[in-house]
Structure 1
């Protein structure tokens, strides 16, 4: 993976590629496996050229604290080769880089860091990309569970699961105006914008679809916008990215304003990942989703939920089931680069995706008014 071909997967042993993807995504060193069965010169050259000297990773590097632990591990593993091979030698540039990280690299609170996720189109989709190429999403993220009083400054596993589903079903967003609830770091927004740009055939009469990214926290929304606009992300030239502060509680008191926004936005599909975690927010969230789907009966929502608490999930499904039609969708994780990246916080938790629509019985004006009455009682 030379700098001039930053997104090509050249013939490289899979274990080394796995290390590259994990390093880019700051996977803890304890989760990595060193490929001792690959010749030293191949492994050493890969660590030097494709990780240490990688142009993208130099411009958007993992945090110094992570690099320190990674390169300490890599040096120990590489030196183990040299003890049994007198012709093997670790390049001085690797030692020099590691030593440059030692001063001040460690702290009690992990610093924010650039993280690069890798994904690729399924082989069944004939997009104008090389068969062995991959796409990237780079974000500046928090490495703590909560920062500045919010969990929205890092990407959670539910976003990776929903992203993989969209990669496998790109027609859902290619030509659709998209609204995301709780956009966080901007991960889903970047993916959606990339899919739209990848397949766009804009004409004089046809504009690029809109992507509305929303969050209640202003700090999160600024981070989201900055990540989307990073020059390395394919989302950066998208001409119709929108950022809006959206408080679900407004569905309880400022419903008219929300209805006006959703009507003007002409949203075709609503997305949300890991947005059901507090039972107190379930009623306003349900009302917000209902209002977002109200203007057109053809609208649909896909909500990816991490099962942290069975009772909270059941509460959400019961409440939304009173006014909207909900069904769990099946998904195929085969070949996903995104889901190969373990997250030390919620990696073991189950994620479910639900498709939400108004359903056949809710499309008449009379029934919509009846549903409004039910909403007022929730």
Structure 2
């Protein structure tokens, strides 16, 4: 039942309530009360669906559920740009327990104010799990640059839960997102002044990399628009061929791409092949991994992780 608790904190859609088995009504009510200050309307909708689900199955419904549903009847939906704190559960091969990351985001926003970074996308969660668990992602003593960080999930997870990462440099090209990041760090008890983490605005093709010792690049869902692919690949190209202020060259890049448009990814692969022709790097699509207990919406497309590694 702890699985449904994790899914509730991540806002599993109420339409998927029929997937719940062996309902622990007390646990569900406890978690909904945690969520209520952030999104009372979600709690109301979930309770309505849960009560109907239990009644149709002929199961007895706790009086506490009816009572709490009555208390929530006046709850109204959040505005599209309203934020709430979402909790994501991640696992790490170096530990024996699941770990939560909290993110303040606007989960109903697909694109707003010129950015798609106001919500956490599934590719960020998938890349986080991959980097924490795959034996094929060696981040031992690595200084990692995250491109297009959005809500900062990947960078925060590496800081908190990867045992051997030396430093994580979180960047995005959107000033508003950079301004939002300190509050997410505070939610996860990450000291903003820590020498192990930095936050900076990085415009691809314009700004220098924020640290001369970066040897690994990570990014999630930065391939949604073919118009930005040239700049993305150029950043990787330059980082693997030009000493940044006379120091380290990047050796590996891991790019998580959601397959929404095959044509866009074909364009990405053409650009990557130019680096192969120039004998700068090779690239591969990593073997997919399954992460039990991690919830993704049923409509989530395939997510690929491209590894680009310097020759």
- TM-score, scaled to structure 2: 0.84
| Structure 1 residue 29: Cα displacement | 0.8
Matches within 5 A, 1:111-190: 111-122=82-93, 125=94, 127=95, 131=96, 133-142=97-106, 143-169=108-134, 172-190=138-156
Matches within 5 A, 1:323-334: 323=275, 324-334=280-290
**Local SS of the residue matching 1:32:** helix
**Aligned equivalents of 2:167, 2:289: Cα separation in 1:** 28
Cα–Cα, structure 1 residues 105 and 239, in superposed 2: closer, same or farther, change >3 Å?
A: farther
2:239 corresponds to 1:292: yes
| Structure 1 residue 357: Cα displacement | 2.4
Residues 268 and 299 in structure 1, CA contact (< 8 A), matched pair in contact too: yes
Which residue in the other structure is 1:246 paired with?
202
2:168 to 211, 229, 235: 211
**Local SS of the residue matching 1:305:** strand
**Aligned equivalents of 1:242, 1:188: Cα separation in 2:** 13
**Local SS of the residue matching 1:265:** coil
**Aligned equivalents of 2:126, 2:291: Cα separation in 1:** 13
Cα–Cα, structure 1 residues 343 and 268, in superposed 2: closer, same or farther, change >3 Å?
A: farther
Cα–Cα, structure 1 residues 240 and 343, in superposed 2: closer, same or farther, change >3 Å?
A: farther
**Local SS of the residue matching 1:229:** helix
**Local SS of the residue matching 2:18:** coil
**Local SS of the residue matching 2:200:** strand
Cα–Cα, structure 1 residues 66 and 245, in superposed 2: closer, same or farther, change >3 Å?
A: same
2:184 corresponds to 1:227: yes
Deviations along 1:139-181, one digit per CA (max 9) or x if unpaired, are 1111221122211111112112211211213773352111000
Residues 27 and 342 in structure 1, CA contact (< 8 A), matched pair in contact too: yes
Matches within 5 A, 1:1-378: 16-33=1-18, 35=20, 38=22, 43-49=24-30, 51-52=31-32, 57=35, 62-79=38-55, 88=60, 90-92=62-64, 94-106=65-77, 109=80, 111-122=82-93, 125=94, 127=95, 131=96, 133-142=97-106, 143-169=108-134, 172-196=138-162, 199=163, 209-230=166-187, 233=188, 235-236=190-191, 239-250=195-206, 257-258=207-208, 261=209, 264-294=211-241, 295=243, 296-297=248-249, 299-323=251-275, 324-338=280-294, 340-342=295-297, 344=299, 347=300, 349-359=301-311
Tell me which moved more, 175-184 or 273-282. Answer: 273-282
Compare the two structures and name the one with the higher strand fraction. 2
Residues 194 and 234 in structure 1, CA contact (< 8 A), matched pair in contact too: no
Which residue in the other structure is 1:9 paired with?
none
Gaps of 5+ in 2: none
**Local SS of the residue matching 2:74:** coil
Deviations along 1:295-316, one digit per CA (max 9) or x if unpaired, are 3456211111112222221212
**Aligned equivalents of 1:32, 1:328: Cα separation in 2:** 38
**Aligned equivalents of 2:274, 2:196: Cα separation in 1:** 34
Compare the two structures and name the one with the higher helix fraction. 1
- TM-score, scaled to structure 1: 0.70
Cα–Cα, structure 1 residues 115 and 316, in superposed 2: closer, same or farther, change >3 Å?
A: same
Output the aligned Cα RMSD: 2.8
Cα–Cα, structure 1 residues 110 and 99, in superposed 2: closer, same or farther, change >3 Å?
A: farther
**Local SS of the residue matching 1:33:** helix
| Structure 1 residue 27: Cα displacement | 1.6
**Local SS of the residue matching 1:118:** strand
Residues 18 and 53 in structure 2, CA contact (< 8 A), matched pair in contact too: no
